[in-house]
Amino acid sequence: MQGRWPEVSRAYATVNQLFGDIVKVTPTSKVVGDMALFMVANDLTAEAVLDPEREIAFPDSVVSLMKGELGFPADGFPPALQAKVLAGAEPLNGRAGALLPPVDLDAARAALSEGAEAPASDAELSSHLLYPKVYADFVKHQGEFGDVSAIPTPVFFSGLAEGEETAVEIEPGKTLIIKLSGQAEANAEGEVKLFFELNGQPRTVRVPRAGAKVAEAARKAEDGNPAHVGAPMPGMIATVAVKPGQKVKKGDPLLSLEAMKMETQLRAERDGVIAEVIAKPGLTVEAHDLLVGFEVA
């Protein structure tokens, strides 16, 4: 999306009106942003979004909003858009929180703490109960990479430029000065050798270049080919719901794609039989990469 922020800003204003000029606070402001990014990534206009004949796999956050899981505006959501987003599903009747099942906090804490060095804290328990998938991803990431909160945000997301250095306090009184000295070209496996200094001492490490291996083998969905289901935007495959030989009906879920902090579910646009499934959970894809193929009638 770099370089397209003016488009995103205009799309944000458009989505706000499509949603009925709703009050925008977290999390509703994020949902409007999700839809704006989705429209820009897929070159969608407001007219296309409202077109009842056009199938659109709306981001999950938008479906959740229109279902009423974040509450309802005083005058409700625009009926035509809400009906299209929900695709036949009924909105909630009443307050979403009133429909939540009761939770045994002691049992939940015990289950979450199983195998851990210490019982789950109140913050960990509440995070798990409120955002189970996000919390599970966080724990997995922390287990693999440790606590990365000490790394400055720009460095975490973009890395160091050649010759740039940063300071990372790993504990009170202990600071690491990290400087990137240079890097070699990627090898045949897509790995890059980085040369850096750690408190003045030279170090080297090999890291995989993001998307290097994926780009080599990626097949593109053919424009206008109804048997091809392509990625609507760059992202990572979160779940896959189908397998070769499986019969699906129009509207059945095929897979979900995580991109730009939102999860989008791709659904079948017609009845058919799955011929091949290229998508796999964890696979990084680019826009228009082929994900699923249908048998040709």
**Measured between alpha carbons, how far is 284 from 213 in angstroms, rounded to an integer?**
10
Q: Check: CB of residue 286 under 8 Å from CB of residue 211.
A: yes
Q: Mean pLDDT over all residues of the chain?
A: 89
Q: Hey, CA dihedral for 34, 37, 41, 44, is it positive or negative?
A: positive
Last residue of a domain, one of 193, 208, 223: 208
% pLDDT > 90, the chain = 59
- Give strand ranges (E) for the chain: 165-171, 174-183, 191-198, 201-208, 228-230, 235-240, 247-248, 253-259, 262-267, 272-277, 284-285, 290-294
pLDDT, residue 97, reads 87
Predicted confidence (pLDDT) at residue 212 exceeds the cutoff of 60: no
Q: Hey, CA dihedral for 251, 253, 255, 257, is it positive or negative?
A: positive
Of the two residues 189 and 278, the one the predictor is more confident about is 278
pLDDT, residue 260, reads 65
Predicted confidence (pLDDT) at residue 4 exceeds the cutoff of 80: no
**Measured between alpha carbons, how far is 277 from 229 in angstroms, rounded to an integer?**
10
Same domain, yes or no: 71 and 89: yes
Q: How many domains does the chain have?
A: 4
Average pLDDT over residues 65-85: 95
Local confidence band at 211 (pLDDT 50, 70, 90 cut-offs): low
Local confidence band at 37 (pLDDT 50, 70, 90 cut-offs): confident
Q: Check: CB of residue 289 under 8 Å from CB of residue 270.
A: no
CATH number of the domain enclosing 271: 2.40.50.100
Question: Which structural domain range is residue 270 located in?
Answer: 213-294
CATH number of the domain enclosing 138: 1.10.10
Last residue of a domain, one of 208, 240, 255: 208
Of the two residues 243 and 43, the one the predictor is more confident about is 243
State the CB neighbour count (10 A cutoff) for residue 71.
13
% pLDDT > 70, the chain = 95
Local confidence band at 215 (pLDDT 50, 70, 90 cut-offs): very low
DSSP, collapsed to helix, strand or coil, labels residue 237 as strand
